Structure 1
Amino acid sequence: MSIVVIPMRKLSGGMVELTQILNALPENVWAWSILELGGTGTAPQGMTMQAFEDTVSSSEAGYLLSWRELVNIASDLEQVHDCRIAAAKCPHSSSSQNGEWDSSPELLVMIKGCDSVPVLDPPVQ
């Protein structure tokens, strides 16, 4: 399991895009879940961003989706301030069903994007 905390701001002051983070990962068949999200842009399924953020935060399991759906959503987001996105081995894993991502042995990767994390290392290009 890998937990990656990424500052969403570059040293230059620009923003790190979620698509840049996802581009560092291989295309996959993992079960993804957006567990937390704060940002701007176009939300999926015709929702407003506020409605999408509320949908994400109201479910213990988060907003479940495939890799391709995650990439498509990320490409429609203008800016992500904070996020927590997890991937498990399969969509029917216990972690994806009951929201116990952090302690799950099925967790493959956890992406934590934080607007308030100090930038110490070179940013994602």
Structure 2
Amino acid sequence: MSAFVEFPMHPSPGRMVGLAELLALVPDNDWVWSVLDFDGIGAVPDGLGFEEFGRLVLTSPVGYPLSWEHVRAFAAGLDQCWDLLLVAVEDRAHLSPERLAASDFGGCLVVFEAIDSGMWEVTAADCVEKVSGLVETLRTRYAAGAAEGAERNTVRPRGPMAGGMMPRAR
């Protein structure tokens, strides 16, 4: 099981919830983070050009792996995410090309997905949710006032770890 929440990226006029704001709620960790899909504006990791970074993300069977320090720096350099699929795993061995290709994120600890510059979807494995309360905190801060009501904001086995989502095709 996992905990899942979705909420608007723009909860009010002129307000945008960015990746850096979301990552600030994740406890410090030594997980391996990987960018599996990205389209947005801002600085990309390791001084790469935007096109080169995009090519590396899309052509690698495990995305673009980053450390916690590097994923936070990447997030801090972003002005906006239009589309993003970012996963965290315990170690590189859990970045299974076969599972990722099948959009099976069950081995992931956390999944952040930005959808069309309009919504965030966040899934956390139960072990992460118990320690951090990440999804519950996000629900309280951002989803509680969402227009679609309380049903969409319940913890349920949905999202990428339950096989309920597919990454955007490019």
The TM tier, using the shorter chain, reads: 0.7 to 0.9
Deviation by residue 1:17-40 (Cα, 9 ceiling, x = unmatched): 110010111111111111111111
- Residue pair 1:6, 1:112 contacting (<8 A) in 2 also: no
Give CA-to-partner distance per residue, 1:29-70, whole Å, 9 cap, x none: 111111111111112222222221221111120001111110
Residue equivalent to 2:53 = 52
Residue 110 of structure 1 aligns with an amino acid whose one-letter code is V
What is the match of residue 71 of structure 1? 72
> Judging changes above 3 Å, is the alpha-carbon distance between structure 1 residues 53 and 5 closer, same or farther for their aligned structure 2 residues?
farther
Bigger CA radius of gyration: 2
Name stretches of at least 5 consecutive residues in structure 2 with no aligned partner. Answer: 121-141, 147-170
Flag the 1:117–1:19 CA change in 2: closer, same or farther, 3 A: closer
Query: What is the correspondence of 1:64-103 to structure 2 with a 5 Å cutoff?
Result: 64-93=65-94, 96-98=95-97, 100-101=99-100, 102-103=103-104
Higher strand share: 1
* Whole-Å separation in 2 of the counterparts to 1:10 and 1:42: 24
Preserved contact between residue 29 and residue 67 of structure 1 (Cα < 8 Å):
yes
Please identify runs of 4+ aligned residues in structure 1 that moved more than 6 A.
Answer: none
Change in Cα spacing, 1:9 to 1:99, as seen in structure 2 (3 Å) is farther
Deviations 1:64-107 (Å, cap 9, x if unpaired)? 111111001111111111111011111222xx141524425431
2:74 aligns to what SS in structure 1? helix
Cα-Cα RMSD: 2.5
- Give, in whole Å, the separation in 2 of the partners of 1:3 and 1:59: 27
Letter in 2 for 1:25: V
Structure having the larger proportion of residues in helix: 2
> How far 1:3 moved relative to its partner?
4.9
Count the aligned residue pairs.
Answer: 121
SS of aligned partner of 1:107: coil
Q: Percent identity?
A: 27
Larger RCO: 1 or 2 (CA < 8 Å, sep 6+):
1
